[in-house]
Amino acid sequence: MKTSFSGIILVLLIQLGFVLSYKEYLFKTCSSSGFCHRNREFARNVQRATNFVPQYAIDPKSVEVDPELYVIKGQVLKHLAQLGKSVQLPFELTLLDKNNVRFQIFEDRSTAQPKNALVNTARYNETTKWSFKTDQVTIERVKDEKVIKDENHVSFQFGKDGKYRAELSYSPVRLVIYAGDEAQLVMNDNNFLNYEHFRTENENSKHLSPYESDFDMFSESFKETRHDKIPMGPESISSDFTFKGFKHVYGIPEHADSFNLKDTTGSDLPYRLFNVDIFEYVPNSRMPMYGSIPFLLASKPGVSVGLFWINSADTFIDINKKHEKDTSTHWMSENGVLDVVLTVGERPEDINESYGSLTGYVQLPPLFSLGYHQCRWNYNDEKDVLNINSLFDEHQIPYDVIWLDVDYADSRKYFTWQPEKFPDPEGMLKELDITGRNLVLIIDTHLKTGYSLSDTIREKEITIKDSENKTFVGQCWPGEAVWLDSMNPASQEFWDEQHALSDENTFMGRFSTNFYIWNDMNEPSIFDGIETTSLKSNLHYGNWEHRSVHNVFGLTFHEATYKALVKRLESTERQRPFILTRSFYAGSQRTAAMWTGDNMSKWEYLKASIPMVLTLGVSGMPFAGADVGGFFGDPSKELLTRWYQTGIWYPFFRAHAHIDSRRREPWVPGGSYTSIIRDAIRLRYALLPMWYTSFFESSQTGVPVLKPTFYDNLNNIESYDIEDQFYLGNSGILVKPVTDEGASSTEIYLPDEQIYYDFTGGCISNRSYQLTEPGFITKDVLLADIPMLLKGGSIVAAKNRYRRSSHLMANDPYTLTVALDKDGDASGRLYVDDGSSFNYERGEYLYLNFTANKTSIASTAENNSAFAESLGNIKVEKLQLLGRRDITEAKAECDGETWNLSFKTEGANTIVTNPKLPVNKNWTVHLQSDGSSQSAEEEDKPKGALSSGLLVSVGAILASSAAALKYFSIL
């Protein structure tokens, strides 16, 4: 067994409890990272220079519009003053679909002589092969006649009515995106553009400009990276980008940090993107985590912009908010080509859509995967699994998936079972299937040495190799292991075989199909590696150094699993795979869900999870969640309860716990804690129709599944900083989870002057709020309360019956809740399909449009498919009309028939009981009113000052004795 020095230090420090100092010891900061150190130094020197002389300029004569491809091409010249010559760096400027302006700078290194002859000498330019949804991303034709070219610039207009313009200046090289006449996003505004061209160590000094540092160019000084020969020498790329007039920037996950990104000037830790196994990650930190999405969104009233830095190498991003109006950013990557996409639009949703048009939108997950997932490391054996399964029923708590961590496998050799503990996995899966439940199994990227499968991948030469092209061997869960190189096309066939469904007695061959996969440790995590991961000098297929592909590697692994599962499931009814990945990159949303890794059972981690999930959502990766309860440690009963009440709002909702933590399934805390947790989980299930609808919409347009508060009123700058509340998609449900210990009240921010109906815990009540300007309201909270509001103008569909799993809810009726806005209108959407197949892609779904005003409620279907036909027996069983006590008559009309509806007033609201409205037909409910009260808003409005001091109206606090009406009935 190979034990490294850092491994020994790790064990010692953990034993001594020095987790923080261990982290600082283990991971690089900017000053200890060669390329970050150099680029920051370069930026500092450029800023200090009194007579800065730009080193980079575009050769005007070289600029041409390629008549075939409509790409603007030319040469950037990097002037080397000491040598009196220039290096030619070819560039391309293209307009891609949906306002995406792409700028690339390349370097021809075909004649370079690396220190290691095995290394591919080209700059890695294949990140988009993995990250883009297809290599057919449409090039919007930048037609020659639309391009304006003179001796200093080249520019073109784009967007509807030519509203936007991209202008590339030659000297200094500067790319500016305009909306109208105003510059919005400027590349190289501060002259931080730096492209370290190839040179040998001997000649290096002659290649340096006076602004450059030569720190760690040809050898590393950080701990054990000293062995790294850095075969291509310095090859980093960097540039600054100024966001003009923007003070709010979001994205670049994954970090345990605020939603609106922080200023990093003066800190040794800019935001770092470098996928690492950072167990017990530190909240409020710019340290790297398990995944990377180099995409940043900036918003202000009227304009939003996006920046996608397409690079899979180690990357640091500095953010400077010290300017009065602007935010400037500095992007630095260890190698690769300079490849950046700049996007502009009116709203943040436009930017989400543009970014997703390149990397793809989130997969529409199988419906079951939006239910509750029960995990721990480990459920010990079949008996344990089936016992947990039946305890859920005993406690009448719905759940959809039980998970098995590494110890199901014999000696942690994935694709085997511990034979004594799991003698009949097939029987276990069948038992789960009776109630429509599923199993998820963990399969990591390493395979134990001395095991037939690791021998096979060695023989097939589909392993990650060391710098001498021999299979790399390191330490992970099974002890000594080797790693599958999922970047090698030949690995797919091997992977398919391991996951194939067949009659043969192979590991997965005979199983029923209600099981799915969890890909963990795919950063890749290597216990004796540098910074817990692969050596940068390791080699992948194509002789690419790991240095170039590190951040995208995890994606290649979970994508291989996705492809294998698609093949496995293609002959079955359950065709959509579900995969959870820990490591991710831009594009991972197409094939996997992610979670935020190894958090702790502490309040600060619960709080941090909300901005983290919001950040992932605006960065195109909405299927995200955090371990409910916290991975390490034992949560108090209160913390566990509050975590469930928060976790039901994670798009991916899973409880998980470390092997050393005590059991904490929902019934463990007991008494009222368990019943509150039960109510929370049932609320998740009641709202599954809204979750599924939000995912569908996200899968079509890239809109986040959890919508940040500021998206709802872009003119209100105050809401741009709100990071502890959100909307569930476009449903109008506004949620503010309680994340403070012992809280007895909470503040909710209303971003506009709309009516907000109290919807605590999903229950309708007699209360509504409306402020005269955006601000906070204060609500008292009990432990049982999940603070929720329903925004006026919304119609929400829910399924209120308790069932054991989402599968068993398929034929349940709906309850619609109608919340009119201040003008008396409302609308909502509901998406339904079979929940498991790809048939929706050929139109087999139902997408309903609900509309309402004071006199009617109507449903119209967007699609009349065979699937929609099959829903004939599913009805709306209840209509809840919020703030209406004025109804005197209600009639339904459908298919030429009309019938009277019964209804009753309950407090401030009217309930139409069992209207039997068929969900798959167009219908209208006609309402007659006596005009006595149109809505809660028109009721007596006690005026008063709430916590913010703003004037508000609290509408219709009527029938104060009436208890809140339960939104979901408990059977």
- For residue 377, state whether it binds ligand NOJ (rule: CB under 6 A): yes
Per-residue binder mask for ligand NOJ (CB under 6 A), 502-541, x = binder: ------------------x---------------------
Per-residue binder mask for ligand NOJ (CB under 6 A), 547-586, x = binder: -----------------------------------x----
Closest to ligand NOJ by CB, 405 vs 877, is: 405
Question: In the numeric block, which tokens belong to residue 760?
Answer: 């605590």
DSSP codes of every residue in 78-108 = EEETTTTEEEEEEEEEEEETTTEEEEEE---
> Within its chain, how far is the Cα of 338 from the centroid?
24
Closest to ligand NOJ by CB, 606 vs 755, is: 606
- For residue 476, state whether it binds ligand NOJ (rule: CB under 6 A): no
How many residues bind ligand NOJ, per CB under 6 A? 10
CB of 445 to ligand NOJ, least distance (A): 12
DSSP strand pairing (814-819 vs 875-881): parallel
Closest to ligand NOJ by CB, 52 vs 377, is: 377
CB of 518 to ligand NOJ, least distance (A): 8
Give the separation between CA 693 and CA 680, rounded to whole angstroms: 20
φ/ψ of residue 546, rounded to 5: -55, -30
Closest to ligand NOJ by CB, 58 vs 375, is: 375
Q: Which long-range contacts (CB under 8 A, 24 or more apart) does 894-903 make?
A: 894/918, 894/921, 894/922, 894/923, 894/924, 895/921, 901/925, 903/879
Closest to ligand NOJ by CB, 597 vs 762, is: 597
Give the separation between CA 258 and CA 278, rounded to whole angstroms: 18
Question: In the numeric block, which tokens belong to residue 503?
Answer: 């009659």
User: Can you list the alpha helix ranges (DSSP code H) found in 532-636?
Assistant: 546-569, 603-618
Could you say which of 597, 611, 625, 787 contacts ligand NOJ (CB under 6 A)? 597
Residue 140 is among the residues annotated as catalytic for this protein: no
Give the Cβ contact number of residue 917 at 10 Å: 24
CB of 660 to ligand NOJ, least distance (A): 11
- For residue 937, state whether it binds ligand NOJ (rule: CB under 6 A): no
Could you say which of 326, 531, 559, 598 contacts ligand NOJ (CB under 6 A)? 598
Annotated catalytic residue, options 531, 598, 627, 886: 598
Q: DSSP code of 640?
A: H
Taking a C-beta distance cutoff of 8 angstroms, is the pair 132, 358 a contact?
yes
Question: In the numeric block, which tokens belong to residue 371?
Answer: 């239910």
- For residue 442, state whether it binds ligand NOJ (rule: CB under 6 A): yes
Closest to ligand NOJ by CB, 597 vs 907, is: 597
- Whose CA is closest to 581, among 619, 537, 621? 621
CB of 376 to ligand NOJ, least distance (A): 8
Per-residue binder mask for ligand NOJ (CB under 6 A), 379-418, x = binder: --------------------------xx------------
Annotated catalytic residue, options 220, 520, 528, 679: 520
Closest to ligand NOJ by CB, 437 vs 656, is: 656
Residue 485 is among the residues annotated as catalytic for this protein: no
Q: DSSP code of 812?
A: -
What's the length of the chain?
Answer: 971
> Within its chain, how far is the Cα of 536 from the centroid?
26
Whole-Å CA distances, 553 to 295, 455, 548, 585: 18, 22, 10, 8
Residue 841 is among the residues annotated as catalytic for this protein: no
Closest to ligand NOJ by CB, 445 vs 859, is: 445
DSSP strand pairing (153-158 vs 515-519): unpaired
Shortest-Cβ-distance residue relative to ligand NOJ? 377
What type of residue is 407? D
Per-residue binder mask for ligand NOJ (CB under 6 A), 613-632, x = binder: ------------------x-
CB of 9 to ligand NOJ, least distance (A): 20
CB of 582 to ligand NOJ, least distance (A): 6
Closest to ligand NOJ by CB, 597 vs 828, is: 597
What is the Cα Rg of the chain in Å?
29
Annotated catalytic residue, options 400, 523, 559, 834: 523
User: What per-residue string of b and e applies to 190-222 under the rule 16 or more CB within 10 Å gives b?
Assistant: bbbbbbbbbbeeeeeeebbbebbbebbbbebeb
- For residue 877, state whether it binds ligand NOJ (rule: CB under 6 A): no
Active site residues: 520, 523, 598
Binding site for ligand NOJ (CB under 6 A): 377, 405-406, 442, 520, 582, 597-598, 631, 656
